[in-house]
């Protein structure tokens, strides 16, 4: 396999997590998503519940509040400690084995590695809304709110810690529209790129 590590960043509702899981299964490599939360919690000394809420998402108040979040005398915030623990875990996983890593700024953290395929999965609004409604059993208005909130918080976290723009095609090897291509085709394209 030319590429050992596949990172998948995604818009909420685009199916990126589902696509990543299927790719990992077909390639016979480890899939990392929420299952790395306990390792990040252990390294940061924070609770797994806090990590689940904070490791990939910014606080709900936005970028300005994020930049000014409570900091200790070294200038580090709790979010900075979470990010550093997350970075260490991702680097250790990438060093250890071939894998698919979902979100968590893994594309940026592993940017200097040669054997990484960085993928961004996005989709069209109607398909994403319907998927969120089906998966979370919510009405359309709630699905739109969930999508806007989650994507805003992912973008804020990514932009703050990477100094790059979340979703910008030049930050990724591949940018795939799951609504246009379908999940199976996205999966096939990713697998073709790592052969």
pLDDT tens-digit readout, 34-86: 888 888 878 777 777 777 766 565 554 554 454 555 545 556 677 778 888 88
CB atoms within 10 A of CB 87: 19
What is residue 39's predicted lDDT score, i.e. its pLDDT? 81
CA distances from 189 to 3, 98, 174, 178, 193 (A): 13, 18, 9, 11, 6
Task: Tally the C-alpha atoms within 13 A of residue 159's C-alpha that lie toward its C-beta.
Answer: 16
pLDDT at residue 8 greater than cutoff 50: yes
| pLDDT score for 84 | 86
In which band, very low, low, confident or very high, does the pLDDT at 195 lie, cut at 50, 70 and 90? confident
Helices (H), strands (E): how many in the chain?
10, 5
Nearest to 90 by CA among 74, 71, 110, 73: 110
User: Range with the lowest mean pLDDT among 6-20, 84-98, 133-147?
Assistant: 84-98
Greater confidence, 21 or 79?
Answer: 21
Three-state DSSP class for 116?
strand
Whole-prediction pTM: 0.86
* Alpha helices (runs of H) in 28-176, residue ranges in sequence order: 37-44, 48-54, 63-67, 78-96, 106-109, 125-136, 140-162
| 14 band by pLDDT with thresholds 50, 70 and 90 | very high
């Amino acid at each position: 396999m030319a590429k050992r590590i596949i990172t998948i960043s995604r818009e909420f509702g685009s199916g990126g997590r589902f696509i990543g899981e299927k790719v990992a299964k077909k390639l016979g490599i480890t899939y990392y998503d929420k299952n790395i939360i306990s390792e990040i919690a252990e390294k940061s000394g924070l609770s797994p519940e806090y990590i689940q809420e904070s490791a990939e998402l910014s606080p709900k108040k936005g970028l300005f509040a994020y930049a000014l979040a409570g900091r200790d005398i070294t200038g580090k915030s709790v979010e900075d400690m979470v990010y550093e623990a997350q970075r260490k875990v991702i680097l250790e996983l990438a060093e250890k084995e071939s894998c698919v890593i979902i979100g968590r700024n893994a594309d940026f953290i592993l940017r200097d590695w040669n054997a990484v395929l960085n993928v961004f999965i996005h989709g069209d609004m109607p398909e994403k809304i319907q998927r969120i409604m089906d998966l979370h059993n919510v009405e359309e208005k709630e699905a739109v709110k969930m999508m806007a909130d989650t994507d805003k918080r992912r973008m804020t976290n990514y932009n703050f810690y990477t100094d790059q723009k979340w979703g910008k095609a030049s930050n990724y090897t591949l940018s795939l529209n799951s609504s246009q291509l379908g999940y199976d085709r996205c999966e096939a394209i990713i697998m073709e790129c790592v052969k």
